[in-house]
Amino acid sequence: MGPTGAGKSYFINSVLNHPSMPVGSDLDSCTTELGFGCIEDIQNYPNLTNRRIVLIDTPGFDSPDLDDKEMLEKIITWLKQSQRKGAEIGGVIYLHDITKDRFSGTARQNLRLFQDMCRDDALKNVVLVTTKWSRKSKDSEKYQLQLEGKHWKTLIDKGAKVHRFDQGSTSAWAAIDMIICAWDSKGAFQTSSETKIKPPKILRNRLEGFFHSKRWWAF
C-alpha cells in the first residue's frame, strides 16, 4: 500500500523477479484495480510450509481514477471474502517515495487512511518502506530521519518496522522476511465495522483458483 507513484507495482515485480504488474513512468497510476502476484513452493520458512504467498497490489488512495472510499471498500471487501475462504492476512507493506522531500497533504491523507485500517496490536506485522533511493537527493537521509522520528513515530513505537528498498529482489525480499519472521495468525487489517465502511453486498471473487489446492497467506 502507499501513495500513487511510490513504487508499489515495481516492488512486487522485484519480489516476484518478474514484470507481472504494470509500472508507470510518471506520476499517473498504472494500478486502478487490485492486482495479485502469487509465490509458490516457499522455502526456508517452516511456518509457511504448504502455503502460498499472495501479494496484493493496491491503487494509491490518491488515485485520480478511483475515489478513496471506493478504494477502501474494495480492499476491505476482498480481505473479508478472502478470510472466509481460509486465507490469513500476514501483514502490510506501506511504501513511501523518499524523493518526495516534503510530507504533503496527500502523503498525510494516505498515512491516515492506512492507520485507520490497522489495529495497534498488529503493527508488528507492518513494514514501512522508503523507495527510489537510486534517485535520492542530498536531503533524502534527513527526510528518512524525519519520517522515522515524526510522521511514522507512532507506528514504529507500536511495533512497525522500517526498511529502505534499494531496488532488486534481495532488497524487496528483506521486507517480506521482516513480516514472515514476525507473523502470527492475528493479521494486520481490521476488517470489522470499526472501519465505518459497509462493503457492497454483491462480491466478485477474483482469486477463486487460489483456494482450491493450498492454504494461502496474503499481504
Instruction: Look up the CATH number of the domain holding residue 108.
Output: 3.40.50.300
**Which residue range is the domain that position 195 belongs to?**
8-218
- Residue 2 within any structural domain of the chain: no
Which pLDDT score is estimated for 48? 83
Q: Which residues of 84-114 are buried (b: 16+ CB within 10 A; e: fewer)?
A: eeebbbbbbbbbbbbbbeebeeebeebbebb
Which pLDDT score is estimated for 209? 35
Which pLDDT score is estimated for 21? 62
- Residue 3 within any structural domain of the chain: no
CA distance 95 to 177: 16
Q: What are the CA-CA distances from residue 76 to residues 35, 152, 166 (Å)?
A: 14, 23, 30
Which pLDDT score is estimated for 1? 86
- Residue 42 within any structural domain of the chain: yes
Which pLDDT score is estimated for 184? 56
- Residue 23 within any structural domain of the chain: yes
Number of domains in the chain: 1
For the chain (219 residues), the mean pLDDT of every run of 10, in chain order, is 87 84 51 77 81 84 69 79 82 92 80 81 91 91 95 95 94 93 62 40 32 46
- Residue 111 within any structural domain of the chain: yes
- Residue 1 within any structural domain of the chain: no
